Structure 1
Amino acid sequence: MNGAESLVETLTDQGVEVCFANPGTSEMHFLAALDNPRIKPVLCLFEGVCTGAADGWYRMKDKPAVTLLHLGPGLANGLANIHNARRASSGMVNVVGEHSAAHLRYDPPLKSDI
């Protein structure tokens, strides 16, 4: 079992049933781990949709959802709805990818201080 699979197992053990995802290449291990019958991955075309859907899921089901966001800019795209979820006390777990440590020295275009 790798770290991504362990995270998915932990999430599902705590009752998380859905992951709203806007993945990129840095999140492939977590995306592969979502191939699990205990959690439903939902592909979203924008990070704001992911976080808005996770907030809405909690408000309708009273169960937390997880989001998968692509790097720091993806987190920035989802922050407005993360703020709304916090104000509404909605349960949400946000998983944010990061570049490989070996790539950071090359200052990749989407590098940010998460």
Structure 2
Amino acid sequence: MNGADLLCETLLANGIDTCFANPGTSEMHFVAALDRQPRMRCILGLFEGVVTGAADGYARMADKPAATLLHLGPGLANGLANLHNARRAHTPMVNIVGDHATGHLQYDAPLTSDIDSLARPMSNWVGRADSADSVADRTREAIEAARSGAGGIATLILHADAAWTQTASAVPPHNVAPALPAPDT
């Protein structure tokens, strides 16, 4: 199992079974993992604003977190307006944002950006999975943050090499999700 498969399994084990996606090349291993997992519903969007808006609406209607898959910092930036709305509404959402392989960052490719700084204003939690062995723990942290009720937006930055590398980490056990707090009347 690679890091991308582990990410998918961790989302599913925690009740997240829908991912709205606008992927690019850095996210292809996670796209392949989504495709291999019939319990995960992947909905492609042609623009990141559509993806983040649809995830916000879905999570509000389903009363459970939605996941998004966005391409690098520019893809995240394209969806920030809807993430602002989702954060203000305390919508539970886990954003998975691809990043270049850790060894490639030194070359400052054209789409390299400071994803952490872009994510922070619209996220209650920002973290990085920089190795396949860290994917499950970081994903669980993101899900816990999304369910916290403190704003609900968690952004997990997934390096390409963390997605494609094999891991011996165990598939997490199924975790029953606590009920989301009811809105203030």
Q: What TM-score, normalized by structure 2, do the two folds share?
A: 0.60
Greater displacement, 98-107 / 31-40: 98-107
State the secondary structure of the residue aligned to 1:34.
helix
Question: Which stretch has the larger CA shift, 50-59 or 100-109?
Answer: 100-109
1:61 positional shift:
1.0
Aligned twin of 2:62: 61
Give the distance between the partners of 1:93 and 1:104, measured in 2 at CA: 24
Q: Deviations over 1:44-91 (max 9, x none)?
A: 001111110100001111111100000000111111111111111111
Aligned residues: 114
- Residue 72 in 1 paired to residue 73 in 2? yes
How far has the Cα of 1:99 moved from its partner? 1.1
Q: Hey, what does 1:31 align to over in structure 2?
A: 31
Match of 2:165 in 1: none
| Cα offset, 1:27, TM superposition | 0.4
* Counterpart residue type for residue 41 of structure 1: C
Note the residue ranges of structure 1 that are not aligned, 5 or more in a row: none
Q: Secondary structure at the match of 1:6?
A: helix
User: Which has the higher Rg, Structure 1 or Structure 2?
Assistant: 2
Secondary structure at 1:33 match in 2? helix
1:13 corresponds in structure 2 to 13
CA displacement at 1:18 relative to structure 2: 0.7
Provide the residue aligned with 1:100 in structure 2.
101
TM-score normalised by structure 1 residue count = 0.95
What per-residue deviation string (whole Å, max 9, x for no partner) do you get for residues 2-56 of structure 1? Answer: 1111111110111112100000000011111102111101110011111101000
Q: Secondary structure at the match of 2:75?
A: helix
Match of 2:157 in 1: none
Amino acid of the residue matched to residue 109 of structure 1?
P
Aligned to 2:132: none
Residue 104 of structure 1 deviates from its aligned partner by: 2.4
Aligned counterpart, 1:22: 22
Give the aligned partner of residue 111 of structure 1. 112
Aligned-partner Cα distance in 2 for 1:14–1:54: 17
